[in-house]
Each structure stands twice: as C-alpha cells, then as structure tokens.
Structure 1
Amino acid sequence: MTVALLQLPLELLCHALIFLPSRDILRVSVTCKYFKAAVDNSPRLQYILDLAFYQMVSAKSLESGSFISTRSNLLRGREHAWKHMKYKKKCTLPIPQTGHVYEFAGGIYGNATGSLIHFVKLPTAENMQSMRGWTHPTTSWILVDFTFSPADDLLVVVAHPESEEAHAYDIHLRTLSTNEAHPRAASSTLHSINRSLISHEFSEPASAIKVQVVGDFVALLCRDVLLPTYELGASLQIWNWTEKRETKITKTFLDGIDDFSFLSNNAFLVLTVIGIIELYTFPEDLSGPPKCTGRYALPELKQEYIYSCTFMSGNPTPGSGVPCSGGGQLEDGQLFQPDPDKQLLVFFVSIISQSDMEEAQSFIFFVDLVHFFQQNTVTKILLADPELENMPVPWSVWGLEHTRWFPESEATDWQHALYGYKAVETINCDPTNQLSQEPRRLRIRDFNPNVLKDNQRENNSGWKGHIVTGSLVDGTNLPFAEPLGAGLPYREIVSEEKFNVTEVMMDDCRILLLKREAGGELKSIDVLMM
C-alpha cells in the first residue's frame, strides 16, 4: 500500500490526505521522508494540522474566501498575540442609551433598553471598517431577556404577553438582521408555562429566567415555579423552533435548579440547587424526551456549609453553529472557531455558612467539556450500575483530574470571560476595595493541552508568562470536606498595561472591556483586537 501511494503524483497524494483526521495525517508524515515532505509543503494540510493543534474548526469552507496560507498565518498570529498579550488594535464602541440586558455572540454585541435593542458588529484588526450598528424596536413587547444566533440569523426575545394571556412568557423568533418573523420558524411566537405557576408575576428580575438557543432548539429556564405542593421548583422548556408541529418538552425539577447549558445539539447540563451536576441526552434521532444519563457531585462541604448559588457558562455555547456567511450585514470574517467538543465550561460557586447566612465564600472552577463525553473507567462503571442509578458520581472520582479551582475575592462573575480553551479575567489592583473603580490588569489563561505540551519546544524569548501545573489543593482549610484537585494545567500571562474595565467579554480575536460606574451604568466599551 505504501509503495502504491509513493507512486502517486504529489498533488494527488496531498488531496487524498486531506480526508484523513489530523492525527492520522501526523502519523502518515512520520512513515517516510516522501510523506513528510508532502505534508510539510502542503498549505492545506498544514492548515488542517494548525486547526487541530489550536483546538479550532474552520468556520468557512476551505474553497471560499482567502488563501489557505493566509488563514494559517492569521491563526498563528492571533495565537501568538494571545500568548504574549499583545493586541494589535484598539477601538471604542459608540454607546447609545444602554440597559442591563445584553449579549455577545458571533462578533455581535447587543444591548436592550426600554424600547430598543442596539446591535454592533465588531471590527477585527484586519478589517477596521467592518464595524456597523443597527437597532430593532421592542415597543410592542415587555422585554424580559433576549439572545441571538448569528449562525441562523436568529433573534430570540423573551417578553411578557401584551394582554392577560394564560401563559407567562412569549418567545418571539425574529431575524437578527431585519427583525422580521424568521422564515424557518414554524411559528413566530412560542408560549411558555402558565402564568399562575410563576411566583413573581411581572416583578421578577431577568435573572429569574434564562434563554438559550442551539441549532434547532430554543430552551427557557424558569427558576422560581410554584409546584403542586406550593413549594418552589424550576421548569425547563425546550422547543424545536423549526418543526411545523410545535414540539415542546417540559421538565419540572422539584428541588429547583440554578442553571443549565447545552453541551451539544443533543445533550445539556443542569445544575441543581444542592450541588449536583446532571447530564441529559436526547435519543440519537431526537425522537423522544431527554433522559438523565449522568449525575456528578460537587465537592462535599463541611457540615455547617451549604451551596447557595451555582451557575455556569460556555463560550461559544457548546453545540452552536458557525457564523453566518450568507451575505448582508451579518456577513462575518470569522474563519475559525473552537471545536464544539473541545472547550471549557466555567462554574461559579457561592457557599454560605448556616450559622452566618450573610457571609458568602465564592469560587470558580473550569471543567474540560470532553470529560462529559469521555468519562474515565470508574465513572462509566458507576453510571452503568442500576443500583446506583440515582447516586451521583463522587467528586473524588470525576473532579480531581478534570477541573481547576480558584478562590474569588469578588462575589461576581463579570470579571471573567471564556472562549474555547482560553479565559480572561480582570485583576483588581486595590485589594482593600473589592469594588474599586481604578484601572485593572488582565490575566489570560490558556488550558489547551496542545500548547502546554509544545511550550517547551517553542522559542519563548521575551515571553513573560508561565506554565502552571499545580499540586493537590487541600480544600479542607476552606468550606470543603475533601480536596479540590489539581487538574487542568494552563499557560498564564498578566498584562503590564492597566485598563479602565470592570467587566470583560471575549471571543476568538477580541477582548471587550466594559467600564461601569459604581451604580452599574455603562460608561464605555473598549475593544482590544488580537
């Protein structure tokens, strides 16, 4: 077989190799000098290997747009900028009247006020002229929350019904570009649970719900729902918004849940209020309701402590599509995005003492998403045992090797951002004042295992970062009754420059620096372009 391949013209050999997984391309390249030369001298094969190394996937076909070598150079250049915290350009976004409900996805920032949703398509360092803005009126809705998917030109608005309808929320499915009824939507408006089940009626904050869209699914979490027992629980409703016959799945959680997030088009996680992570999966053909296929315990706490609040975030939303490339104002220059199966989730945890309910201790921890799809042997055995069906996998079995914990001095999530395997946070330079308005430094962490392995071979002259491997974190001197673990090594760098920032967001090539006044009013948004 090898002899036959050696007789192929070089162009034909390279074309055949592009259909192999990146790992197999590497294996082929070490079999003989001819194959190695073929791989080394093929821009297309090198681009495939670069994407795999940086845990990215192509957001546009290899046949469209820029030359392959240009894409590789752009990818490597951005990764170099992240490693050295060297942004190429900086701009300030125009800020109209702003509100407290906002979203950032696919290079688009959206902010809702009382009567409008303002959108800004952000520029890149390579195309500063691409920034543009537009607005959609919301005067016909009593807006509660919104989200959007540029991949589907989809805007999802959660609002209260105008009239005294029996349901609590309308979910409007519009086009992000023109605010028209979405052509793929079977119905332009979906209806959520009965109004009588919502405990807060019209005075509830936006935090009482969460809306998420992934592919053909729209999901709405209502955190405070009255149960038949007159206790509070939670309701999660999931629609296939493209089906002609409305398909709605409703799951009620008697103990309540703090948060949920899709992991893929057919799986999602739920965070219960008692510190259990539950994994739900749909049948492969999506023909039936989801089933709980895994339960994972957070670290056991000392007797006097309880989990008071936990929530999670992934960016981009695992399972979400690639940016829109159909033209118009949503046309995006994004060429690559994180591999949807290989990225981080970040969990924010608040713990209180039952003897002092006012004093909370906060932590964050990162989890490699791949763990929930490739469990270790012990985890698989525990999940497969029918006698242990309702028992969560202990933290000591799954968490020690697959997470990284950090204590938080500020009981907020807004100083952290996440994208793929990278995380950015702001560093308060005034330890005496948690809510200091003084300029802050930025810390960038990269958990990509490939860059950690390759760091020893790279030329690191001038690099001011370091690798953190860590040792076992003994949580017993904290509220925890067991060790937290020391998994997920990472590469870290802290900026020398300080920035006017209180809140940070990010994507593949940008850091958004949001500056808020002490009262929460948005003052400015600066964009660093890598």
Structure 2
Amino acid sequence: MTKFAGSADSFIALPNELVIRVLHFCSYEEILRFAATSKRYRDAILNSVSLQLHIELEANGLEIIKGTWKGNTTYSLLLDELVRYRDAWLHLQFERPTEKTLWKRARMSIWELREGIYGMAFSSTSEVSLGLDSLQMVPIDLADAPDSITFWSNFHDFTYDSEQELVVLLSTDPDDNSRFAIKLCSATTGFVHPLAQKPTLIVQIDFQVPSPEDETQAFITEIMDNIVVARVATLVGLRYEIMAWNWKSGLLLGRIGSSCGTADFSFLDKNHLALLSTEKDGEDLRLVTLSLYSLSPRTCDRMPTDSYFCASEYACARPILTFEFPELGYLFAVDPERLFLRSDPVPGRVAYTKSAGFFHPTALTLNTTLTLIRPGTALPDGDFAQYRIFIRAASLLRYIPEPPCEESTIVIPWATWGIQATRWFLYDRVINYWLYWSFGSRFISVGERPLSGLCDLSVLDFHPPTIRRHGICDLVNSPATHYTPEQKERLRNIVTEGTGLTVEHPWSLERSDLVGSLPPLIAESIGADMPTIVTRGFSAPVESRLPYRVVTRPEFVPQCEDWLIDGDHIIGTNPVHHGFDAFERITVYKLRT
C-alpha cells in the first residue's frame, strides 16, 4: 500500500470500484492516509459501506464470526450496529437496569462469567468435602434459567465454552496427592463430550497438589477453540505446572513448569500464550517477567498412547520472547498470592452479538496485578504496594520474530518495551482473581459516594485507536473542558502519581447538574504526553505512557458488592439494599444499541 500511496499516478487511471477492492487488503490506518491524498479518494472511501465496515472492525480490534450472519443481514446493517455498539460505550448509554435472582447461596461454590452466561458450580449434597458435582448455567439476558447439570464425579475447578457445549472439570485424586484429572464433558448432558477422544486426562506432577480449601487459586483452566490449558500451583515451595492439550485429540501441546516461583497465564492470540511469572533472586521472589510461548503443535519427548501424563517426563517449553519488568528495590519482593494476569474475552470467543457475532482475534489489553511486600512484615499500611498494570497486547506481538524461533529466547529490556506499552495505577482494593473487571480494552471502576445511595460509574479504555479517533470529541463536549487551572493541575498530579483508580477525578459539578433522567457524562483522554511515574517498591522510578480514555457518569449505579463487565453488559453483584439474605442477585445494565 505504501508504494501506491507514494505515487498518485499509480491509481489515477483505475476506477473507484477497483481502488476499493485493493484497499480491502490494507490496514485501516493506510486507508485513512490514502483518503487524505485527494477529494476523489476521500469521497470514494466515505461512500463505500464495505470499506467503512472494514475500518470500523479493525479500529475496534474485531472480526465477524463466520456463519453467524442472520437472515438478510447486509454490510450496511452490520456497520450501523457496530457504530451504535461503539458509541454506547463511548457515552455510557444503557437500557433501564434489571435485577435478577441467580440462585440460593451455597456453602461451597465457585462461579464464572463467560459470554453473557453465569456458571456456578456447587455440591448437590451435604458432603461438600468431596468437592462439587453440579453446574447451573444462567444466561443474564433470559428470564428463566435451564436446569442444572449433575456430573458423574466430583470436581474442584471448572470452565466452559458455551459455543462448543464444552465443560472442563479439574479434580484432585483422593488416593494420590500429586495427581489430578481433567475431564471433558458435555454442557448439555453432563456426560463425556462426544468430540473428546480422551475424555479424561490424568496428570502426575512432582509436588503435592494443594487442597482447594487451603489455596483457593491453586487451579486455573482455560479453553480457546481446540486448546485447553490447566495450571496447578502451590504456595508451599512455590511450584507450578502448566500444561496445554488439544482437547479433541488429547495431544499434549506443551508444558511450562517451575522449580521455584509463581505464575499466571492468559491467551494472547490463537498461537501464543502469555505468562506473567516471578522467580527468586536470593531468598525472595524479586524477578518479574512476561513471556510469550508458542501454542503450535510440537513434538514432545514422549507421547503417551493412553490418557496418563507424567509432567516431569516432558521438557519445559522455551519462551519465544521474554519482556523484563523494572528492578525491585532491595527491601521489596513479590507477593505470590497476588500476582494475576487476565485478559477477557478469550481470543475467538464471542465479544458482541446482534445481526452477526463479533470476536477479538487477539487480546487487546492484558490486565495484570503486581503486589510488592516487605518480606517478614505483617503488611501494615506503607509496607506494601499494589499495582494494576494495563499492557497493550499489540505492542508485544510486534516483537515476535518471523519465523518464530523456539531454540533461543529473545529478551526485551523494560526500557525498550514497557514505557510506551503500559500504564500503571496504584490500587488499594482487595483483588479477587475471579472478578471480571475488564473486557477487551475496557476496565470498569465504580466509586462510592458516602452521602449518596448511588455510585459513580467509570469505564477506562486502553485501546490507542479509540483515543486517536474520539479524544478530540472529549476536548469539545465534556465538562472537563471547563477545568480551572487548579483542577487541571490536580488531574495532572492524579495521572502522574498513578492514583486514577483510587482518587476521584477533579471534575466539578453543581448539585443541580446531577438532577434529571441521566447524569452528565465526563470524559477525559490521557495521552502519552502525560506519563505516570511510580516509585514505591522499585530501585528507580517506573514510567508508563500508554494512552487511555476514562468516561464517568456520576451517581449513576446503586451500591453493590462488586461490578463486572462482559460484552455489552455491566453487572453489579448482590445489590446492598437487599442486605445479606439467602440469595445471590445481580443488577444488569445492558448497552442501548
């Protein structure tokens, strides 16, 4: 495309129809640059619905799921629906909220939220010590929930993929504390999934599998298309094993293990797994890295013919890339219980559905939690620092060599990659791994107001194309444009100090501004020219410049235990006006599209 753009004569003789066909092979940024070369091309691109849809999809990091088009769906309809979805997030436009009772509180339960479906696993008997045995799936948009499913054996962790009607169960072995099982079940029958050639995978590891009651985050399982990944970790001795399979064939795709450390993982795209890990430097966990591993099938040293896998018999995979984090100060170490890496939705899963389904082919933003402590202290105020770090996934992918090489690892220093690709925030809330605070490039934050029964709703977006395309509107339309010099200085301090998730932003509104059917919208775009610089816990100041946009509706949502984001919904769990009763409830706000 660059060659064409550099010479107008190359295209001047071509009809517009052919020009548009060629432009479909270009990135949206190249298309926009080409549109700026002449009025003819600008008008041709503006009048092409297919190119406008192409631009809108790529700018939002989305693709259309094949085979999901409904009836007489057209490009024009899809473009209109996608623009309304985009604008509803830009302006926090929601339908009237609904409240839903999910289920009766159980003594022991775990849950997940995926693609608009709540899944809660529970025990159908009083023998909770044996684990869980049932699953209730509740679509948040439907009035009635289907019947729960009871499985043929107990389990301790689960995940599901509703499109594939797959439930993955992970269970410990009561007769061998160094063994666990992964069972591949149907989400409709509870029995073996018909596509699983090896429906039960038995894994032997060389450390003791922790009790789920003692270590609630010991197990993590994830599904992406034909791949299932399981992690088992223990705080005793700081060991972990991560193994990936093709769940349909039972083929082992790879193993990642540690002799001493802790880690969390997330899918980056269809071909890569991201691993946030920490290892010891001396007596404490002080070395933090983010590594990328290939998920392509590889020849393992030993491929079993049955369903039994002894982890130590397989070589650990070598990362393609390792991104270094800043050096910790000598008094600080990483808290292994609060090192998290999340990215939702899983690449390829449904992100939004209307006349067709849309998905993110790659993760947009990695949401990480890094907690630093002074070893040997009881964590009084001032002796720890908890950071939320948002990482732009595209900035990592551009470092992958072509062709990828798994024989040696490329190490990227923090100063090379981290400053422009991340944004750091101090965070003082208790973080539960299972809470879904982010989706795509968006992160939800709700601030309570002590004198009001309502809370401020904020959504932060860390997708640079959004800031580039819509940040200028914030400068024109938001009340933030009327900041006093003192308010502007306070905003700069909040951004610089990384307190944007813990300190109220400095907009000033009269009480009368909050009266009406819809509270006002306050939007701010923070560019790379306004860095965040944090110091606590590190040997030198840590600078981050990833642009982001924060949009807030003050006094907009009720007080709830917590808030989640999923697709075109935000969800409040257990509204406080009910008190603590016998039922789990949610308040659901759906985008007005």
Task: Normalising by structure 1, report the TM-score.
Answer: 0.81
Query: Residue 256 of structure 1 aligns with which residue?
Result: 261
Q: Does 1:117 align with 2:135?
A: yes
Work out the CA distance in 1 between the residues paired with 2:472 and 2:574.
39
Work out the CA distance in 2 between the residues paired with 1:192 and 1:204.
21
2:56 to 23, 39, 50: 50
Query: Matches of residues 282-361 of structure 1 in structure 2 within 5 Å?
Result: 282=294, 286-287=298-299, 290-308=317-335, 309-317=338-346, 319-322=347-350, 333=354, 335-337=356-358, 339-341=360-362, 343-354=364-375, 356-359=377-380, 360-361=384-385
Q: Which amino acid aligns with 2:361?
A: P
Query: Matches of residues 365-514 of structure 1 in structure 2 within 5 Å?
Result: 365-375=389-399, 393-413=412-432, 417-430=437-450, 439-455=454-470, 457-458=472-473, 460-461=476-477, 463-469=521-527, 471-476=530-535, 478-496=536-554, 497-514=556-573
Query: Matches of residues 72-221 of structure 1 in structure 2 within 5 Å?
Result: 72-98=79-105, 100-115=109-124, 116-123=134-141, 132-138=144-150, 140-161=152-173, 164=175, 168-194=179-205, 197-201=207-211, 203-221=213-231
Q: Residues 31-72 of structure 1, C-alpha deviation per residue, up to 9 Å, x if partnerless?
A: 554444333223222212111222222235586443322222
SS in 1 for 2:101: coil
User: Which sits farther off after the overlay, 392-401 or 43-52?
Assistant: 392-401
Are the structure 2 counterparts of residues 473 and 29 from structure 1 closer, same or farther at C-alpha, using a change threshold of 3 Å?
Answer: closer
On the 8 A contact 1:346/1:364 being kept in 2, the answer is yes
Work out the CA distance in 2 between the residues paired with 1:35 and 1:27.
10
Q: Residues 160-200 of structure 1, C-alpha deviation per residue, up to 9 Å, x if partnerless?
A: 35x74686322221233443422221122222235x73253
Percent identical residues:
19
User: Which sits farther off after the overlay, 456-465 or 338-347?
Assistant: 456-465
User: Which sits farther off after the overlay, 173-182 or 361-370?
Assistant: 173-182
User: Which sits farther off after the overlay, 417-426 or 336-345?
Assistant: 336-345
Are the structure 2 counterparts of residues 151 and 483 from structure 1 closer, same or farther at C-alpha, using a change threshold of 3 Å?
Answer: farther
SS in 1 for 2:157: strand
Query: Residue 586 of structure 2 aligns with which residue?
Result: 525
Work out the CA distance in 2 between the residues paired with 1:98 and 1:52.
43
- 1:221, distance to aligned residue in structure 2 (A): 0.8
On the 8 A contact 1:39/1:45 being kept in 2, the answer is yes
1:38 to 41, 44, 48: 44
Work out the CA distance in 2 between the residues paired with 1:323 and 1:391.
32
Q: Residues 58-116 of structure 1, C-alpha deviation per residue, up to 9 Å, x if partnerless?
A: 23558644332222222222222222222123222231124541111222221122233
Q: Residues 341-389 of structure 1, C-alpha deviation per residue, up to 9 Å, x if partnerless?
A: 350011112111135243333221100011221139xxx8xx99x9xx7
- RMSD, aligned α-carbons: 3.5
Work out the CA distance in 2 between the residues paired with 1:249 and 1:375.
22
- 1:516, distance to aligned residue in structure 2 (A): 7.0
Q: Which amino acid aligns with 2:138?
A: V
- 1:292, distance to aligned residue in structure 2 (A): 1.4
Are the structure 2 counterparts of residues 181 and 323 from structure 1 closer, same or farther at C-alpha, using a change threshold of 3 Å?
Answer: farther
On the 8 A contact 1:510/1:528 being kept in 2, the answer is yes
Q: Which amino acid aligns with 1:424?
A: I
SS in 2 for 1:471: coil
User: Which sits farther off after the overlay, 263-272 or 345-354?
Assistant: 263-272
SS in 2 for 1:399: helix
Structure 1 runs not aligned, ≥5 long? 124-129, 325-331, 432-436
Are the structure 2 counterparts of residues 60 and 132 from structure 1 closer, same or farther at C-alpha, using a change threshold of 3 Å?
Answer: farther
Work out the CA distance in 2 between the residues paired with 1:113 and 1:80.
39
Are the structure 2 counterparts of residues 391 and 71 from structure 1 closer, same or farther at C-alpha, using a change threshold of 3 Å?
Answer: closer
- 1:246, distance to aligned residue in structure 2 (A): 4.1
On the 8 A contact 2:171/2:180 being kept in 1, the answer is yes
SS in 2 for 1:370: helix
On the 8 A contact 1:439/1:501 being kept in 2, the answer is no
Query: Matches of residues 224-239 of structure 1 in structure 2 within 5 Å?
Result: 224=234, 231-239=237-245
- 1:323, distance to aligned residue in structure 2 (A): 7.3
Work out the CA distance in 1 between the residues paired with 2:358 and 2:461.
15
Query: Matches of residues 51-70 of structure 1 in structure 2 within 5 Å?
Result: 51-60=57-66, 64-65=70-71, 66-70=73-77
Are the structure 2 counterparts of residues 354 and 203 from structure 1 closer, same or farther at C-alpha, using a change threshold of 3 Å?
Answer: closer
- 1:511, distance to aligned residue in structure 2 (A): 0.7
Q: Residues 131-169 of structure 1, C-alpha deviation per residue, up to 9 Å, x if partnerless?
A: 5522443353322111112332221122235x7468632
Work out the CA distance in 2 between the residues paired with 1:299 and 1:520.
46
Work out the CA distance in 1 between the residues paired with 2:544 and 2:215.
37
Task: Normalising by structure 2, report the TM-score.
Answer: 0.73
Work out the CA distance in 1 between the residues paired with 2:575 and 2:96.
22
Are the structure 2 counterparts of residues 211 and 80 from structure 1 closer, same or farther at C-alpha, using a change threshold of 3 Å?
Answer: same
SS in 2 for 1:398: helix
SS in 1 for 2:429: coil
Work out the CA distance in 2 between the residues paired with 1:94 and 1:59.
32
On the 8 A contact 2:294/2:320 being kept in 1, the answer is no
On the 8 A contact 1:276/1:295 being kept in 2, the answer is no
Query: Residue 247 of structure 1 aligns with which residue?
Result: 252
Query: Residue 311 of structure 2 aligns with which residue?
Result: none
Structure 2 runs not aligned, ≥5 long? 1-9, 125-133, 279-284, 301-315, 479-520
